[in-house]
Chain A
Amino acid sequence: MSAHDTAVDGQRPADDGPSSADDVLEVRHLSARIAGQTVVEDVSFTVPARGVTAVLGRNGVGKTSTLRAILGLVERQGEIVLGGTRIDGERTDRIVRRGIGYVPEDREVFAGLTVAENLRLAERDARVGAARRELVAGLFPDLVQRAGQRAGTLSGGQQQMVSLARALLNDNRLLLVDEPTKGLAPRLVAEVADALAEAAERVPILLVEQNLEVVDRLAERVVVIDAGRVVHTGPARDLLDDPARVQRLLGVHAETAADDPGDTITRAPAGPTTEEVTG
């Protein structure tokens, strides 16, 4: 069955007509290749201008590659529209300057630079930066105390704070946040989720996340990817309240994941699930 054959949730498929004016990002027929291998194939979805949209899926299905393709960090084809403007032909730095903040998987802080230098590097506009610096200092007071410390010597949680702070320092129209709780202790997971919840009040977030408890707390909408294709989109609540569908789409029991933040869908059995497709 094709990935776009059915719309069981009764919603408009993402590639069926123009996006709503309330959408900040529209992705149409996006494909991406890494080292000659297709890792994302004909993916279409929209991101509303408010709240958190979570991208879900088993390990290795193309979630991270989708975010990287939106930014032009991997070879890609398809249409990407940010706030009504096509950006798929642009370089990564220009796309970002249009107002996309990126929090990559594994943080990717600059280990040899201090915390302050990491943040200074990320500031695109010094005029905006002054107000944003206060926001970041309020969200992550630990970073203020560690301003002179090399980022490579920080703990994983602190590095995640730096990575989030870099994105929050700018006046963005959208944040792409990739597995921000990966490898963090439960207490830090809660802190990161708090920071994302506060950020989501100011800017929409497209969030790749394996921890369903975090998804449950933050996301209003989900996009499920399997084998490089979108197999489900819709309200997060609809998916998470349906354990059978969670099991089928993500290969994990929703309650199990929600009870234990460290329990992710990585335990899910392999195998594509493509029968359930919505816009």
Chain B
Amino acid sequence: MSTVVLLLVTGVGLGALYFLVASGLSLIYGLMGVLNFAHGSFLTLGAFAGWAVARAVGTTSWAGFALALLAGAIVGALVAALTELLLVRRLYERHIEQVLVTVGLSLASVALFEGIWGPDPEFITGPAWLDSTTSLLGAHVPNDRFVVIAVAAAVLGGIVLFLRRTRYGLIIRAGVENRAMVTALGIDVRKAFTVVFAVGGAAAGLGGVLASQYFGYVSPHLGGSLLIFAFIVTVIGGLGSLAGAAVASVVVAVLQQVANYYWGYGDLVVVLLLAVVLLVRPSGLMGRSAR
């Protein structure tokens, strides 16, 4: 029983990390049709920014941790918005070029991060409570899992509120359905593109700080390793569906944890799940049938 509880909570925690990356990917694809392969770079940069701030303030203090989260979100949002404004904006409707540019940015940014911070992981510590465990139904669950889950839930709630209660949210929801008609109503949908990139970048930046806490290190390759699973989650959930991304994140991560524990083939099981979903329901769990 305790093993099952531990696997479940750890899986949901990992799913929360996947969601923080996948939410941005899904929103960006849903509105703009852009597969953003540079999204992992926003996460990595957010993680390093958070690490730098935490070191300055004190890595073991709650203030350092809170400021690290804030710095990760802000840096992620800024870099994502700049990426949209300077690179992606010129390439809408040019999908091959988008892929080339975002893949290129992803590779170049890893090289840049290695140049600045070195290729090796930097091991980090957070507030003592995060490194300890809480007993839950007999299982000793690392506390950082609860924090990751809580932050991801707050991000999900915040994005839902943003989409439902703000004019930009309304524009984004409409734009996901029919971008041309939004412009035909006199709305400059490009501003919404920048906002979506910034929101996605902020979530990824937060994910970077939490991932470095979850895994215990920050490295130039942190974003890339999570991005692969975030893409899988986004496809399984349905491209453009935030709810789909949330559900798929948890399903994929829990399955991965369970398969890893019992058979040691967690990654293979995730890829098999992706194949099954693509064969049975190509639009994903909650996606539209075609774009």
Interface residues of A (CB under 8 A from B): 71, 73, 91-94, 96-97, 102, 104, 108, 110-113, 117, 120-122, 124, 166, 170
**Chain B contact surface mostly:** helix
Let me know if A102 and B184 touch, CB within 8 A.
Answer: yes
Bound CA span A73–B180, Å: 7
Q: Smallest CB-CB separation from A72: which chain B residue?
A: B183
Q: Are B180 and A121 in contact (CB under 8 A)?
A: no
Given contacts A121-B174, A124-B186, A170-B186, 4 further A-B contacts (CB under 8 A): A93-B187, A113-B170, A124-B185, A166-B185
Q: Is the CB of B170 within 8 A of A91?
A: no
Report if B228 contacts A (CB, 8 A). no
Q: Is B267 an interface residue (CB 8 A)?
A: no
Q: How far is the CB of A48 from chain B (nearest CB, A)?
A: 23
Which residues on A sit within 8 Å (CB–CB) of B182? 121
The answer to whether A112 and B173 touch across the interface, beta carbons within 8 angstroms, is yes
For residue A166, which residues in chain B have a CB less than 8 angstroms away from its CB?
Answer: 185
Asked if B186 and A113 make an inter-chain contact with CB atoms under 8 angstroms apart, the answer reads no
Q: How far is the CB of B167 from chain A (nearest CB, A)?
A: 8
Q: How far is the CA of A92 from the CA of B186 in the complex (A)?
A: 7
In the complex, what distance in Å separates the CA atom of A19 from the CA atom of B178? 35
Question: A117: which B residues are within 8 A, CB to CB?
Answer: 170, 173-174
Contact of B177 among A92, A94, A112 (CB under 8 A): A112
Q: Which residues of chain B from 99 to 153 have a CB within 8 Å of any chain A CB? A: none
Binding site for A on B (CB under 8 A): 167, 170-171, 173-174, 177-178, 180-189
The reply to whether A93 and B170 form a contact with Cβ atoms under 8 Å apart is no
- CA–CA, A55 and B235, complex, Å: 44
B164 to chain A, nearest CB (A): 9
A124 to B202, CA, bound (A): 29
**Measured CA separation A73–B93 after assembly (Å):** 13
Residue of B nearest to A103 (CB): B184
A-B contact pairs, 27 of them (CB 8 A): A71-B184, A91-B183, A91-B188, A92-B180, A92-B184, A93-B186, A96-B183, A102-B184, A102-B185, A108-B178, A110-B173, A110-B174, A110-B177, A110-B181, A112-B173, A113-B170, A113-B173, A113-B177, A117-B170, A117-B173, A117-B174, A120-B167, A121-B170, A121-B182, A121-B187, A122-B185, A170-B186
Report yes or no: A108 in contact with B186, Cβ–Cβ below 8 A.
no
CB pair B177 A96 closer than 8 Å: no
Q: When the two chains form their complex, are residues B174 and A113 in contact, meaning their CB atoms are under 8 A apart?
A: yes
Q: Hey, which chain B residues are within 8 Å of A120, CB to CB? A: 167, 170
- Return the contact of A96 from the options B171, B174, B178, B186 (Cβ within 8 A): B186
| Chain A residues, Cβ within 8 Å of B167 | 120
Chain A residues whose C-beta falls within 8 Å of the C-beta of B186 in the assembled complex: 93, 96-97, 124, 170
